[in-house]
Amino acid sequence: MPLGERAGDKSESRYCGVETDFNDDMPHVLHFNLYSGSFDFVVAPLMDHSYRPSLVQKDALGSGVLPFAGSDLVLSPSQWSSHVVGKISSWIDLDSEDETLRIDSETTLKQEIAWASHLSLQACLLPAPKGTSCANYARCVNQILQGSNNMQLWLRVPLVKPDDDSMDAKSVALVDSWETWNSFRLLCEHHSQLSVALDILSTLPSPNSLGRWFGEPVRAAILHTDCFLTNSHGCPCLSKRHQSLITGFFNHSIQIIVSGNSVHPKASVDANDNSGTNSQRHPLRPYLDYIGYLYQRMDPLPEQERFELGYRDFLQSPLQPLMDNLEAQTYETFERDAVKYIQYQRAVSKALLDRVPDEEASVKTIVLMVVGAGRGPLVRASLQAAEETGRKLKVYAVEKNPNAVVTLHALVKLEGWEDTVTIVSSDMRHWSAPEKADILVSELLGSFGDNELSPECLDGAQRFLKQDGISIPSSYTSFLQPVTASKLYNDVKAHKDLVHFETAYVVKMHNVAKLAPTQPVFTFTHPKHSDKEINQRYKKLNFIIPNDTGSAMVHGFAGYFDATLYKDVHLGIEPSTATPNMFSWFAIFFPLRTPICVDPGSTLEVHFWRCCGSTKVWYEWCVASPASSPMHNSNGRSYWVGL
Ligand SMILES: C[S@@+](CC[C@H](N)C(=O)[O-])C[C@H]1O[C@@H](n2cnc3c(N)ncnc32)[C@H](O)[C@@H]1O
């Protein structure tokens, strides 16, 4: 049974498993944990702990006997696949100096995985590597992954990081477990079926170092009963930090697995059980109940977030509104974003008030041109601003998409705007305007600000803006930050070509770790003060990875924009200043062909170029430190925006 519903949110449920000991009576294991215990699945050993291949007698014919497991028939195929995660024997040590142990370990790992595949299990939990070297373990896992079906392998690693104030003496000898994971997954070349199961202990490393994991493929968090505190009723509860970590796991669809013996025996006594026998109460049930309580008390996902669930970490090609004509449903999506148009209306109102003093309001008519009018929402916002401020307006709606122009005509007729609005079916770069504008309103912004060629289009439109005219927006700036994004990286890699590694994607980023604060990249200001200002740009950025993060993997860069519409009215998606409740833009993702590992406290030196040709504009990017990446997208060979 799922952990119940998150308040007001029927779309998402989370599951909770329990780690069990070996028991060859699997029907009993399932019955006890699922039906008496209400857990959703078990993480159960598939072999007796004492099994060692080297100790198994060969039969008379010399063929290997497989005495390691009971029959597959004890459970139905759907029970195996839905309710059992195979726990690979924890004694295995594939990098042991002891050859017998090493070979036994290899044999056992392969036998158990083969058996788990035979049972169609969805996942197996691999024990944590024993020492600092895990090359042979990774080699064998890699062999398995090469030949595997869809089964996921979860590498178990403890959530520890030394050199951290919060560490206790016991953990000091340990390495940063992220390093262990990183070595292992590099040896397995970021295989998409290799993921992580984190063992959560009673002490937690720093928030920054925890944050790294949200960009990694963490599938499960194993919560030990000794992490729990005791509340005033004698029941298990978690520290505030553990609670917020678990909430983070829920938000990232990471399954929780309870492990260990009950350390709250009193809480295990069923309050509703008056028989005094209490025979059926699962000893770990109070822990499950508490985890369910944490899930259910989470705030419901806002409606827009729920709508966008399907877009999370899904790579989309950016729009090319200049080269292509947008479709009706794309306009429809823009137009649902009321916040964007409210901001434009506020900007136009302020500009009108500045442009026309009260005493001239009844005599002076302002010429306002919406360039790239689409189906008309900025025309409407401008007219509303005029009404709100009592200013007189003459509007030109310039649009190059002939299909949107059809809708514009219908709108003007429907609203009775014929005397005020003139529709111009033209590319703003080539239109000969009959008069000059006081105010030029446009929204040609991409997720990275200038990536839909607003600078080039507005260069063309500036011809018909009065010398002292106002452009809304008056400027926009792009921003970047390095991210761990293993899912996005793997999705790009799945295309198996260079082109996809040199393309920027629009993405609703979710399973992503932001490794440093954003930094501004390119700024464009309108109107330009000189014809000599070019639209090419170059920027070198130095990102410092905080010391307490630990090492981290950079799979690419998240990009955003912020636009100043007019004076203090802005609109944008840069996380620290993002316009609340505005959903027209997701972030942009610039991938790296080879992910780069950065050390704590070190500097990541990144170079970005905006290049302009006669028919296209494109970005090139590279990392220069701590290691040099290849130059991405030279000459716009893979990704460009058409002029
Ligand atoms: C991002 S949409 C915005 C549409 C509308 N203003 C809105 O907010 O819903 C940009 C619009 O500008 C138009 N556009 C882009 N470049 C243009 C150009 N050079 N001349 C005229 N229209 C252009 C596109 O066809 C598209 O309709």
Q: Give the pLDDT of residue 548.
A: 92
User: How far, in Å, from the CA of 500 to the mean position of ligand 1?
Assistant: 27
Q: How confident is the model at residue 113 (pLDDT cuts 50, 70, 90)?
A: very high
With a Cβ cut-off of 6 Å, ligand 1 is lined by 321-322, 326, 331, 334-335, 371-374, 377-378, 398-401, 404, 427-429, 443-444, 457
Pairing mode, strands 437-442 and 365-371: parallel
Average pLDDT rounded to a whole number, residues 362-381: 98
Backbone angles phi and psi of 432, in degrees to 5? -95, 100
User: How far, in Å, from the CA of 323 to the mean position of ligand 1?
Assistant: 11
Whether 311 has a pLDDT exceeding 90, the answer reads yes
Atom of ligand 1 nearest to the CA of 344: 8
Q: Give the pLDDT of residue 37.
A: 86
Q: What is the DSSP string of 144-182?
A: HHHT--S-EEEEEEE---SS-TT--GGGTTSPPHHHHHH
**Domain 328-443 matches domain 475-642 at the CATH topology level:** no
Q: Whose CA is nearest to atom 20 of ligand 1?
A: 427
User: How far, in Å, from the CA of 416 to the mean position of ligand 1?
Assistant: 23
**Spatial contact of 448 and 639, defined as CB atoms under 8 Å apart:** no
| Coil, helix or strand at residue 589 | strand
More confident residue, 148 or 288: 288
Q: Give the pLDDT of residue 174.
A: 63
- The residue written with tokens 């007698």 in the block is 57
User: How far, in Å, from the CA of 399 to the mean position of ligand 1?
Assistant: 6
User: How far, in Å, from the CA of 326 to the mean position of ligand 1?
Assistant: 9
Q: Whose CA is nearest to atom 23 of ligand 1?
A: 372
Atom of ligand 1 nearest to the CA of 374: 27
* Residues facing 611 on adjacent strands: 618
**Spatial contact of 219 and 123, defined as CB atoms under 8 Å apart:** yes
Atom of ligand 1 nearest to the CA of 340: 8
Q: How confident is the model at residue 151 (pLDDT cuts 50, 70, 90)?
A: very high
pLDDT in tens, 281-306: 899 999 999 999 999 999 999 989 99
Looking at the predicted complex, does its ipTM rise above 0.85?
Answer: yes
293 annotated to a ligand binding site:
no
**Spatial contact of 633 and 619, defined as CB atoms under 8 Å apart:** yes
The active-site residue out of 443, 502, 574, 620 is: 443
Whether 65 has a pLDDT exceeding 60, the answer reads no
Average pLDDT rounded to a whole number, residues 234-254: 96
The closest of 221, 218, 224, 155 to 184, measured between CA atoms, is: 155
396 annotated to a ligand binding site:
no
Work out the angle at residue 458's Cα, subtended by the Cα atoms of residues 454 and 462, and round it to the nearest 5 degrees: 170
Count other C-beta atoms under 10 Å from residue 636's C-beta. 18
Whether 166 has a pLDDT exceeding 50, the answer reads no
Atom of ligand 1 nearest to the CA of 319: 1
Atom of ligand 1 nearest to the CA of 431: 20
Q: Give the pLDDT of residue 583.
A: 93
pLDDT in tens, 4-19: 666 655 556 688 999 9
Q: Please, which residues have CB within 8 angstroms of residue 365's CB and are 6 or more apart in sequence?
A: 392, 393, 394
What is the distance between the alpha carbons of residues 239 and 228, in angstroms, rounded to a whole number? 8
Q: Give the pLDDT of residue 2.
A: 73
pLDDT in tens, 455-501: 999 999 999 999 999 999 999 999 999 999 999 999 999 999 999 99
Q: Whose CA is nearest to atom 16 of ligand 1?
A: 322
Q: Enter the CATH code of domain 475-642.
A: 2.70.160.11
User: How far, in Å, from the CA of 105 to the mean position of ligand 1?
Assistant: 63
- Domain positions in the chain are 5-54+69-301, 328-443, 475-642
Q: How confident is the model at residue 60 (pLDDT cuts 50, 70, 90)?
A: very low
| Coil, helix or strand at residue 83 | helix
Atom of ligand 1 nearest to the CA of 460: 19
**Spatial contact of 322 and 616, defined as CB atoms under 8 Å apart:** no
Q: Whose CA is nearest to atom 6 of ligand 1?
A: 373
Q: Give the pLDDT of residue 12.
A: 61
Burial grade of 523 (CB within 10 A; 0-12, 13-18, 19 or more):
middle
For a ligand 1 pocket test, name from 448, 456, 457 the mutation site with the most ligand atoms within 8 angstroms of its C-beta: 457
User: How far, in Å, from the CA of 368 to the mean position of ligand 1?
Assistant: 16
User: How far, in Å, from the CA of 373 to the mean position of ligand 1?
Assistant: 6
Residue 389's identity, in one-letter code, is: T
Count other C-beta atoms under 10 Å from residue 482's C-beta. 27
311 annotated to a ligand binding site:
no
**Spatial contact of 341 and 377, defined as CB atoms under 8 Å apart:** yes
98 annotated to a ligand binding site:
no
Q: Is 435 annotated as catalytic?
A: no
For a ligand 1 pocket test, name from 326, 330, 333, 339 the mutation site with the most ligand atoms within 8 angstroms of its C-beta: 326
Q: Give the pLDDT of residue 279.
A: 54
331 annotated to a ligand binding site:
yes
Whether 318 has a pLDDT exceeding 90, the answer reads no
Predicted TM-score (pTM) of this structure: 0.94
The CATH architecture to which 328-443 belongs is 3-Layer(aba) Sandwich (3.40)
pLDDT in tens, 190-234: 999 999 999 999 999 999 999 999 999 999 999 999 999 999 999
Backbone angles phi and psi of 282, in degrees to 5? -70, 130
Q: How confident is the model at residue 63 (pLDDT cuts 50, 70, 90)?
A: low
Atom of ligand 1 nearest to the CA of 341: 8
Whether 163 has a pLDDT exceeding 90, the answer reads no
Q: Whose CA is nearest to atom 25 of ligand 1?
A: 401
pLDDT in tens, 373-404: 999 999 999 999 999 999 999 999 999 999 99
Q: Please, which residues have CB within 8 angstroms of residue 381's CB and are 6 or more apart in sequence?
A: 341, 342, 344, 345, 348
Whether 451 has a pLDDT exceeding 90, the answer reads yes
The active-site residue out of 106, 112, 452, 502 is: 452
Average pLDDT rounded to a whole number, residues 87-104: 96
For a ligand 1 pocket test, name from 323, 325, 395, 401 the mutation site with the most ligand atoms within 8 angstroms of its C-beta: 401
The closest of 535, 14, 81 to 292, measured between CA atoms, is: 14
Q: Whose CA is nearest to atom 18 of ligand 1?
A: 427
Q: Is 452 annotated as catalytic?
A: yes
The CATH architecture to which 5-54+69-301 belongs is Alpha-Beta Barrel (3.20)
For a ligand 1 pocket test, name from 399, 464, 472 the mutation site with the most ligand atoms within 8 angstroms of its C-beta: 399
The closest of 406, 37, 65 to 257, measured between CA atoms, is: 37
639 annotated to a ligand binding site:
no
